[in-house]
């Protein structure tokens, strides 16, 4: 009998090789190659789906586009992340840690869809039908008929979808699905890639909106080859600690809308409840009269969110001071501390520094720089910042405060939550509207911003 042929696959990008390599030539990652049986000759995901039209070139002017119809999921926060609703014929990947609520939110979406007259097929490869029924009873509110299928063989699942032709389908989860024409185990690189390819062809040729649930690794990315994220139309990540009540749904890829949008949910006894005003939630429990605390207005996609930045600076008793950043980029915090020390003549080289974004959210936009700088200075001098003050702005290496996008939206959000003063880049003052009742302080250097929180007319002497 002929020996079974094996290949080596990169778990990050799906690169194939006949031999093992320490570094992947495709993505340059180290130690990502795994050995798996090769797919049968002439086999591919495209061959498992019936052809619906001849593969012939078509002129661009002759292509008839659809109306781009979207269907509401019944959850405003999810619709926001998806770009306005579920697009017909789309393939969406939902990833998250175990127990974070992926299956719960998918079941709630299915409930909302069937209750409005849509046909939905829920395929589970992890739980029995009885377990899903118990969860559905706990969520309650099912008035329409939801079709359930407990199966892991993707060939049978694809045939069922073709016969039933539902408007929506949920696959929970992609790591449990297998194709009997691939000899490797479920969850392997080959199985995940080929299974996703079959579902993608089904979504595009049959016009079915498919949701794929995927588990994540300890690094926080979807388990399996990175090519999985490239194949789908939308990638959503569920973030948060499963022991806490709040969850954040973040869109990191979206072919039908803006990326980096977020939706905020609270896990309760009867499922996930939408949080309509995330800023109010993020600022709940804010301390009064404490130094090192400042509110910054961040933009998540097109949504302004007010966040509390906390800093703790204290004298270090070690040769190498300790620096910690939770929710903010560690290297960015170190960079801003160097700017403060050089441009404001404040000594931070012998201090431990801890920066935290309250609420468990991560921010990466540069407009939060000014808030980090002011919280560090406030903690170093042990001087509280006015609780009615908010700020935003990018800080450069020369200490200059650069303009930030959507300045009017940020100020309007701060005004809505009762803030009366806003420190912002001087360049962003142009064209500001609807700022009545808000005191706007335009600054061009971090020294001016520090002078504003100190209540002095002149900032410190700039060094360098």
Classified as helix, coil or strand, 426 is helix
Nearest C-alpha neighbor of 157 from the set 174, 182, 135: 174
Query: Which residues touch 242 (CB under 8 Å, ≥6 apart)?
Result: 97, 98, 99, 100, 101
Predicted local distance difference test score (pLDDT) of residue 133: 94
**pLDDT at 330 > cutoff 90:** yes
* pLDDT over 70 percentage in the chain: 88
| 73 in Cβ contact with 79 (< 8 Å) | yes
pLDDT band at residue 48 using 50, 70 and 90 as cut-offs: very low
Q: Write the pLDDT tens digit of every residue in 390-427.
A: 999 999 999 999 999 889 999 999 999 999 999 999 99
**pLDDT at 37 > cutoff 80:** no
Query: Whole-number mean pLDDT of the chain?
Result: 86
Predicted local distance difference test score (pLDDT) of residue 458: 42
**pLDDT at 54 > cutoff 60:** no
Domain limit, last residue, from 242, 276, 310: 276
Which comes out higher in pLDDT, residue 404 or 360?
404
pLDDT band at residue 460 using 50, 70 and 90 as cut-offs: very low
In this structure, of 47-56, 171-180, 307-316, 343-352, the range with the lowest mean pLDDT score is 47-56
What beta strand segments (E) does 408-451 contain? 421-425, 439-443
Which comes out higher in pLDDT, residue 457 or 56?
56
Instruction: Count Cβ neighbours within 10 Å for each residue of 177-189 and write b for 16 or more, e otherwise.
Output: bbbeebbbebbbb
**pLDDT at 342 > cutoff 70:** yes
**pLDDT at 45 > cutoff 60:** no
Over residues 301-308, the mean pLDDT reads: 88
- Helical axes 369-380 vs 330-344, angle rounded to 10°: 60
* pLDDT over 90 percentage in the chain: 51
Give me the residue label for tokens 């949008």. Answer: 261
Which residues sit opposite 127 in a β-bridge? none
Q: Is residue 26 part of a domain?
A: yes
**pLDDT at 457 > cutoff 60:** no
Q: Is residue 391 part of a domain?
A: yes
Q: Is residue 305 part of a domain?
A: yes
**How many structural domains does the chain have?**
3
Q: Is residue 53 part of a domain?
A: no
**440, 314: one domain:** yes
**249, 302: one domain:** no
**pLDDT at 151 > cutoff 70:** yes
Domain limit, last residue, from 226, 257, 276: 276
DSSP H helices in 297-435: 330-344, 369-380, 407-416
Q: What spatial distance separates the first Cα and last Cα of the chain, rounded to whole Å? A: 77
Over residues 125-137, the mean pLDDT reads: 92
Q: What CA–CA distance (Å, rounded) separates 454 from 211?
A: 52
pLDDT band at residue 147 using 50, 70 and 90 as cut-offs: very high
**pLDDT at 15 > cutoff 70:** yes
User: What residues make up the domain containing 340?
Assistant: 281-454
Q: What CA–CA distance (Å, rounded) separates 226 from 221?
A: 9
Over residues 342-350, the mean pLDDT reads: 92
| 86 in Cβ contact with 73 (< 8 Å) | yes
Burial class (CB in 10 A: 0-12, 13-18, 19+), 417: middle
Over residues 364-393, the mean pLDDT reads: 94
Predicted local distance difference test score (pLDDT) of residue 464: 32
**89, 167: one domain:** yes
Predicted local distance difference test score (pLDDT) of residue 268: 87
Q: Write the pLDDT tens digit of every residue in 240-255.
A: 776 677 888 989 899 9
Q: Is residue 463 part of a domain?
A: no
From edge to edge, which strands make up the β-sheet containing 120-124? Answer: 147-150, 120-124, 168-172, 209-215, 91-96, 234-239, 246-254, 262-268, 271-274
Q: Is residue 48 part of a domain?
A: no
The DSSP letter of residue 70 is: E
With helix as H, strand as E and coil as C, how does 349-381 read? CCEEEEEEECCCCCCCCHHHHHHHHHHHHHHHC
Strands 262-268 and 246-254, sheet pairing: antiparallel
Which comes out higher in pLDDT, residue 35 or 84?
84
**pLDDT at 228 > cutoff 90:** no
CA atoms within 13 A on the CB side of 242: 8
Q: Is residue 407 part of a domain?
A: yes
Over residues 161-180, the mean pLDDT reads: 92
Query: Which residues touch 257 (CB under 8 Å, ≥6 apart)?
Result: 82, 83, 84, 251
Which pTM does this prediction carry? 0.77
**202, 313: one domain:** no
**218, 307: one domain:** no
Q: Is residue 159 part of a domain?
A: yes
Which residues sit opposite 134 in a β-bridge? none
**113, 20: one domain:** no
Element (H, E) at 246: strand 246-254
Over residues 28-36, the mean pLDDT reads: 81
């Amino acid at each position: 009998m002929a020996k079974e042929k094996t290949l080596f696959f990169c778990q990050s990008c799906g690169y194939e090789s006949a031999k093992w390599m320490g570094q992947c030539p495709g993505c340059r990652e180290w130690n990502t190659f795994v050995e798996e049986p090769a797919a049968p000759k002439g086999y591919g995901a495209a061959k498992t789906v019936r052809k619906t039209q001849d593969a012939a070139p078509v002129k661009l002017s002759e292509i008839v586009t659809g109306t781009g119809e979207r269907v509401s999921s019944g959850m405003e926060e999810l619709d926001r992340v998806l770009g306005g609703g579920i697009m017909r014929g789309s393939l969406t990947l939902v990833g998250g840690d175990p127990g974070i609520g992926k299956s719960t939110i998918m079941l709630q979406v299915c409930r909302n869809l069937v209750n409005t007259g849509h046909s939905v097929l829920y395929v589970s490869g992890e739980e029995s039908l009885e377990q899903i029924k118990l969860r559905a009873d706990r969520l309650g509110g099912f008035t329409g008929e939801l079709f359930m299928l407990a199966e892991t063989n993707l060939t049978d699942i694809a045939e069922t979808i073709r016969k039933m032709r539902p408007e929506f389908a949920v696959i929970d989860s992609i790591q449990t699905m297998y194709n009997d024409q691939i000899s490797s185990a479920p969850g392997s690189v080959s199985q995940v890639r080929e299974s996703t390819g079959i579902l993608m062809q089904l979504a595009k040729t049959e016009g079915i909106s498919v949701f794929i649930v995927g588990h994540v690794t300890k690094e926080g990315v979807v388990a399996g080859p990175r090519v999985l994220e490239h194949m789908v139309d939308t990638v959503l990540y569920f973030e948060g600690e499963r022991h806490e009540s709040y969850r954040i749904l973040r869109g990191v890829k979206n072919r039908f809308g803006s990326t980096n949008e977020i939706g905020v949910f609270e896990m309760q006894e009867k499922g996930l409840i939408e949080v309509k005003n995330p800023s109010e939630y993020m600022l709940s429990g804010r301390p009064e009269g404490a130094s090192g605390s400042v509110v910054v207005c961040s933009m998540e996609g097109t949504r302004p969110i007010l966040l509390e930045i906390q800093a703790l600076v204290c004298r270090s008793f070690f040769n190498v001071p300790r620096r910690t950043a939770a929710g903010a980029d560690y290297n960015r915090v170190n960079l801003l501390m160097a700017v403060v020390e050089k441009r404001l003549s404040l000594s931070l080289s012998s201090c431990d520094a801890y920066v935290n974004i309250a609420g468990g959210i991560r921010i990466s936009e540069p407009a939060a720089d000014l808030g980090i700088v002011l919280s560090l200075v406030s903690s170093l001098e042990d001087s509280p910042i006015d609780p009615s003050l908010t700020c935003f702005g990018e800080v450069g290496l020369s200490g200059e405060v650069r303009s930030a996008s959507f300045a009017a939206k940020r100020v309007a959000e701060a005004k809505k939550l009762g803030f009366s003063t806003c420190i912002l880049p001087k360049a962003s003052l142009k064209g500001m509207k609807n700022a009545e009742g808000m005191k706007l302080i335009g600054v061009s250097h971090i020294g001016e911003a520090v002078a504003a929180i100190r209540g002095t007319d002149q900032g410190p002497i700039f060094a360098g």
